[in-house]
Amino acid sequence: MPSRSHDVEQVQVQVLIDAVQAAQTADDLTEAVEDLCACAHPMAIPCLIQVLGFNNPGAAVAAVDGLVAIGSPAVPAILSNVDDYNYGARAWSVRALAGIGDLRGLPLLERALAQDIGPSVRRAAARGMGGLQPHGFTVLQRQELAERILPQLKASCQDEEWIVRYATAVGLEGMKRWWQPSAAQQEQLVEALQPLADPHGEPVPVVWLRARLAITRLRASTPAACP
C-alpha cells in the first residue's frame, strides 16, 4: 500500500521537523538538523532554510548539506527565501545553491559575486561557478556558458578579500568539469589563473599555492578531444 507507507514517511519527517523546532541548545539543534537531513525528504526544505538564519554555524553546515542532498527540488524555495538583511544567512543560501549546481541558481550566484557586501557570500558564489551542473547541455551551450562565466571570475581575481580570490581559483579549476574544454580553451583557464599564482601581483601566499595547484591539475589531465 504505497499511500499508507507514504503517510508513515510524512509522519516520521514531521517528527524530525518538530525536533528541530523544539531544540533548546545549539548542540541539540545541530543534532536535530543532522537527523532531519538524513531523510533527504523535500518536506524538510522549509525547515532547513529557516535554520540557515539561526546564526548557529554547526546547524547551518548540516542544513546546507541537507539541502544539497535534496538537490534540485530545493532550488525554488532557496531562491525565494534569500535573506537580504542577514549576510550570514545569505552566505549559507548561496553555499547551498553552489553545492547543488542547478542553473536556476546562476543569476543569484552572479549577482552575489559581483555585488554582495559579505565576503563569505562572494566566496561561496565564486566556488559555485565551478560546480555548475549543466545537464543535457550541448557542446555549444557549454561553450556559451563558459563565455558568460569566465569574465566574471576574471573580475573576481581582483576582489579585495583574499578568500574571494582563493575561491575564484577553485571556481576556475572547477569550470573544467562542466565546460569540458579543448586544449586551447583550457589555456584560457590557465591564463585567468596566472595573476593569482604570481607573487608580484598577488600578496597572499595561500592564494598563489591554490592557483598553482589548479594550474598543475588542469595541465596534468588530458583535455577533451576537439569539440
Partner 1 sequence: MSQGTPLNEAQALDWLRQQEDLGQRYYAAWWLGRMRSSHGDTVPLLIQSLSERGSGLAPTSGIDEPNPVARNAARALGKLADPQAIAPLLEALESSDDGLREAAARSLGQLGAPQARGPILRRLASGPGVAGAPRPGTSRLMEPCEAFLEALGALGWEEEDGSTTDHKPLLATLGAYVNHERPLIRSAAYRSLLQLTQEDCWGDQLVALLHHDELQVRRAALLDLGVTGWRPAAPAIAQTLAENSLKLIALRGLVEHSPLRNQASWSPSPEEVELLAAMDNLL
Amino acid symbol at 144: E
User: 114 Cβ partners below 8 Å, 6+ apart?
Assistant: 152, 155, 156
Dihedral angle of Cα 71, 76, 79, 82, to the nearest 10 degrees? -90
Question: Toward partner 1, which CB reaches closer, 65 or 102?
Answer: 65
Question: Toward partner 1, which CB reaches closer, 57 or 76?
Answer: 57
CB of 212 to partner 1, least distance (A): 5
User: Looking up cell 563558459, which residue turns up?
Assistant: 146
Which residues of the chain form contacts with partner 1 (CB under 8 A)? 26, 30, 57-58, 61, 88, 95, 119-120, 123-124, 126-127, 162-163, 166-167, 170, 204-206, 209-210, 212-213, 216
CB of 21 to partner 1, least distance (A): 20
CB of 121 to partner 1, least distance (A): 11
Question: Toward partner 1, which CB reaches closer, 205 or 227?
Answer: 205
Question: Toward partner 1, which CB reaches closer, 120 or 180?
Answer: 120
CB of 72 to partner 1, least distance (A): 21
CB of 192 to partner 1, least distance (A): 18
Residue environment code for 91-125, b if the CB has 16+ CB neighbours within 10 A, otherwise e: bbbbbbbbbbbbbebbebbbebbeebebbbbbbbb
- Structural contact between residues 35 and 9, judged by C-beta atoms closer than 8 angstroms: no
Question: Cα-flanking dihedrals φ and ψ of residue 54, to 5°?
Answer: -85, -5
CB of 182 to partner 1, least distance (A): 25
Question: Toward partner 1, which CB reaches closer, 192 or 211?
Answer: 211
Nearest to 194, CA basis, from 160, 154, 221: 154
Euclidean distance between CA atoms 52 and 54, whole angstroms? 6
Question: Toward partner 1, which CB reaches closer, 13 or 153?
Answer: 153
